[in-house]
Structure 1
Amino acid sequence: MDIRKLGPEDAEAFAAVRLEALKNDPDAFGSTYGYEKNRPMEEWRARLSPANEGENGYFGAFADGEIVGTIGYFRHKGTKARHKAAIVSMYVRQDHRGTGMAAGLMQAALEYLKGLGDIDQVQLAVVSSNPAAVRFYEKMGFQVYGQEKRALKAGDRFFDETHMYLLL
């Protein structure tokens, strides 16, 4: 298992995995396949730009040279909130689940965020209807701090989210 920070050269492979995630697990993400599939490749490259270093980015897990999982992060904006970061867009391809890749991705992201030196809290939100994901995040040390009713809406369906945090 190889895990590393993604760069613009990974944009096409990253886009393919992200679109797969949105197609396979549409209820788990805030965006949609229909919206993201029309995103120009230049925007995918910009998401992975080194110019964003320390503010936002993505890590990829690789098997046989192919991206099979991703995790993203972003630092909160504002002077009084910059000590916090959020984990977003976690996804591992179905045939690589249960292999430790999700834990490896999370550990890489958390080590990176801790290494920035001024982030001491990491937050995430997970769809409440996915108890396996909630349990995974709890195993990684995250604690629940709240529930948001109707956090996401797809058509006329609503999804609640569980909000979690980890102090570094």
Structure 2
Amino acid sequence: MSLDLQTVANRYARALFELADQQGELEQVHQELMSLREIFQANPRLATLLTSIKLSLSQKESLVQALQQGASQLTTNLIQMVFDYGRMNAMVAIIDEFERRYDQQNKRVHADVVTAVQLDEPRRAQLKQNLLTRYGAKEIVLHETVDESILGGVIVTAQHKTLDGSLKSKIEQIRRLLVK
């Protein structure tokens, strides 16, 4: 019976998170995993290559060693174990789950922010402060996007909720009220 991707990700991430936390290596492992995720995202076929028959075992092992280079023992062990069990296609999900646990422990919130113009530093700082208060977080990580079609204001999506303060949506609300 094969396990689904989320179950695999949860198990590996939980084990790694608990070990890293116990050994005082949580910050280091977190940073290494963020770098590792960037590699997998920049090379979308990498996980498939590491689990397919297109490469020989020695070629795959060479790629795995390159991924492990410079990493802590915990991260190296994770990469090796995931490779050995043929689950490289779950690596990004494992990292995502690890980061979710890390964020929860550190009261860190990721927020997708859409604005009509690029935020300057004072407005970015004010937005972060408002979000810190709203979510009771210690840290806010903004993922900014500029979309001129919202005309003005800001749309924030964080913790599965969207706060739409865009001028476009306000105009739409007024238009709906006038049409009634």
TM-score range, shorter chain: under 0.3
Q: Which has the larger share of helix?
A: 2
TM-score by length of 2: 0.24
TM-score by length of 1: 0.25
